[in-house]
């Protein structure tokens, strides 16, 4: 975990807005020397001072606590996807389409080999699932219902719905899906 430097963040936002230390100090009702010390990491602001500085810069308070995202790490190249094979389902391969699982979204391609099911027992998710059939034909079992989906079809599987995917054909099927947690 990286150390958080509030002062650097405050200075960065202040400079982007072309404000001097004196200007921001006046707007935030703090002394210029205190603001200078905060920016250099020599003093820690009180919560009230931090709120006042954020308000004066017209930014949410959390701006000072959020790390910059390296945009290069947001891309997953087609030849560099993580592949997941769950225990007991060697004929089902999931290609993960997002760089990490830290957010509230799961996004993957499920590759179902011929005559394969995604799982033995129907499963549920902690969120809604949206799916789109990229290739082939699949059966979707939701609760007590059975549906056949073809290439180009899409479906929403609501939160808590017991379901499983099945490929009864002689060719591989691919389903792209997102689960919003």
Residue 2 confidence (pLDDT) above 80: no
Q: CB 163: neighbour CB atoms within 10 A?
A: 21
Beta strands in 44-91 (DSSP E): 82-84
87 versus 96: the higher-pLDDT residue is 96
Does the model's pTM come out above 0.85?
A: no
Give the pLDDT confidence of 39-55 residue by residue, as tens digits: 999 998 888 898 899 98
Concatenate the DSSP letters of all residues of 133-166 into one string.
Answer: EEESEEEEEETTEEEEEETT-EEEE-TT--EEEE
- The mean of the pLDDT values for the chain is 90
Backbone φ, ψ for residue 143 (5° rounding): 50, -120
Q: How do the domains of the chain map onto residue ranges? A: 6-65, 72-180
Give me 12's structure tokens. Answer: 């960065």
Q: Is the pLDDT of residue 75 over 70?
A: yes
Give the homologous superfamily in CATH for domain 72-180: Jelly Rolls (2.60.120.10)
pLDDT tens figures, 146-160: 999 999 999 999 999
Q: What distance in Å separates the CA atoms of residue 48 and residue 64, rounded to the nearest whole number?
A: 14
More confident residue, 86 or 115: 115
pLDDT at 60: 79
DSSP state of 121: S
Give the pLDDT band of residue 89 (cuts 50, 70, 90): confident
For residue 65, the 8-state DSSP code is G
* Domain 6-65: CATH superfamily, name plus number: lambda repressor-like DNA-binding domains (1.10.260.40)
- The model's pLDDT over 109-161, given as tens digits with 9 standing for 90+, comes to 999 999 999 988 899 888 899 999 999 999 999 999 999 999 999 999 999 99
Residue 1 confidence (pLDDT) above 70: no
């Amino acid at each position: 975990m990286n150390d958080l430097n509030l002062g650097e963040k405050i200075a960065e936002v202040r400079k982007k807005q072309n404000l001097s230390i004196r200007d921001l100090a006046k707007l935030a009702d703090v002394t210029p020397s205190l603001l200078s010390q905060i920016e250099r990491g020599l003093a820690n602001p009180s919560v009230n001072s931090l709120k006042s500085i954020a308000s004066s810069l017209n930014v949410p308070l959390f701006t000072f606590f959020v790390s910059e995202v390296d945009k290069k790490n947001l891309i997953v190249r087609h030849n560099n996807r993580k592949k997941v094979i769950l225990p007991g389902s060697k004929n089902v391969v999931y290609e993960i389409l997002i760089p990490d699982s830290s957010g509230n979204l799961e996004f993957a391609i499920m590759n179902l080999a011929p005559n394969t099911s995604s799982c033995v027992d129907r499963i549920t998710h902690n969120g809604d699932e949206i799916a789109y059939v990229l290739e082939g034909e699949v059966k979707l079992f939701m609760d007590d219902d059975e549906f056949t989906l073809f290439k180009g079809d899409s479906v929403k599987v609501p939160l808590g719905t017991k379901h499983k995917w099945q490929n009864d054909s002689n060719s591989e099927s691919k389903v792209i899906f997102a689960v919003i947690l």
